[in-house]
Amino acid sequence: MTARLLDGKAAAREIYERIAADVAARVAKGGSRPKLATVVVGDDPASAQYVRMKQANAKNVGIDSEDHHLPAATTTEQLLELVESLNRDESVSGILVQQPAPRHIDMTRVITALDPGKDVDGAHPFNAGMLALGFEGGIEPCTPAGIVALLERAGVPIEGANAVVVGRSNLVGKPTAFLLLRRHATVTICHTRTTDLASHSRSADILVAAAGKANLITKEMVKPGAAVIDVGTNWVNGKQVGDLGPGVADVAGWLTPNPGGVGPMTRAMLIKNTFEAEVRRTGG
Ligand code: NAP
């Protein structure tokens, strides 16, 4: 392997240390302690596990958390009632509705019902719109913000770089593209209807693989020296793998491990967003 590692665990640790100090200082001055409310619908073990990890991360920096685990048969209306009560709850700084939710849940209604100031995954159209328009002051989605933070921490040049994002979801692909565009990369977004994905990926100085398809990006599809971010989470024979095929580490200049790259940064950004949401909500 020749690529330099974009170490998500180390980068996340630095963020947690900063936030823990900020929370302690805030509480010592008599300020409110931030609280993260997580909502999981259904019995997906991965979702339950992600939420447990997010709560542990919150606790470790002094942020309170509460989990609302609803049965799979919960209706959209029932979920909306919970979201609205969390919106009104003065003790709650941020709300995360873990995705994917069961198919019968209308996530568009749920996301648009969130108080944009408590929307700590930056999914509400207000926050998404702020990002798309290049305005400051919205909440940035956790995974995309974590990706960009990893690139910046490593000093990967973004301005003027050719960035290719594989995936166009509202959660990952599109907001990652907008964050890179905001930093003056030239951005291409690829998806399942893209013809000749390899011709795009080979032009990328920064390649973000967020398709959720194991082995989608082979080493032949990577420009030598590129920064490659492996977002995908796939399970192959009980083992977590990303979207990259074997040998990419020998071609890339920088690479995120998977696991240990984007995942830890996603959670760190959630904790950061929760702290900042509380600071904004309380006026300081
Ligand atoms: P998603 O909603 O399923 O979107 C996947 C995107 O990839 C779609 O836009 C799809 O194109 C595109 N795609 C799929 N197969 C492709 C192919 N063969 N060629 C080109 N494009 C392809 O998933 P997501 O929520 O964006 O998440 C993407 C992956 O990242 C998943 O594996 C997810 O588990 C993982 N993830 C990881 C973290 C983390 O913290 N590590 C966080 C979030 C997500 P179409 O739009 O044309 O269908």
CA-closest residue to ligand 1 atom 30: 232
pLDDT digits (tens, 9 = 90+) for 86-118: 999 999 999 999 999 999 999 999 999 999 999
Q: Which of 199, 185, 243 is nearest to 217 (CA)?
A: 243
Q: What is the mean pLDDT of the chain?
A: 97
CATH topology of domain 31-116: Rossmann fold (3.40.50)
Pocket test for ligand 1, best of 51, 192, 270 (most atoms within 8 A of CB): 192
103 close to ligand 1 (CB < 6 Angstrom):
no
Architecture field, domain 142-262: 3-Layer(aba) Sandwich (3.40)
Q: Which of 49, 43, 75, 61 is nearest to 276 (CA)?
A: 61
Fold matches, 31-116 and 142-262: yes
Q: Which residues are catalytic?
A: 54, 98, 121
Position 284 scores a pLDDT of 84
Average pLDDT over residues 76-89: 98
CA-closest residue to ligand 1 atom 40: 263
Q: What's the gap in Å between 187 CA and the centre of ligand 1?
A: 17
Ligand 1 atom nearest to 212, measured from its CA: 32
Judge whether residue 226 has pLDDT over 80.
Answer: yes
Q: Domain ranges in the chain?
A: 31-116, 142-262
Judge whether residue 1 has pLDDT over 90.
Answer: no
pLDDT digits (tens, 9 = 90+) for 239-262: 999 999 999 999 999 999 999 999
Q: Taking each helix axis from N to C terminus, what angle separates 125-133 and 173-182, rounded to the nearest 10 degrees?
A: 40
With contact defined as beta carbons under 8 Å apart, do 8 and 146 qualify?
Answer: yes
Residues in the chain, total: 284
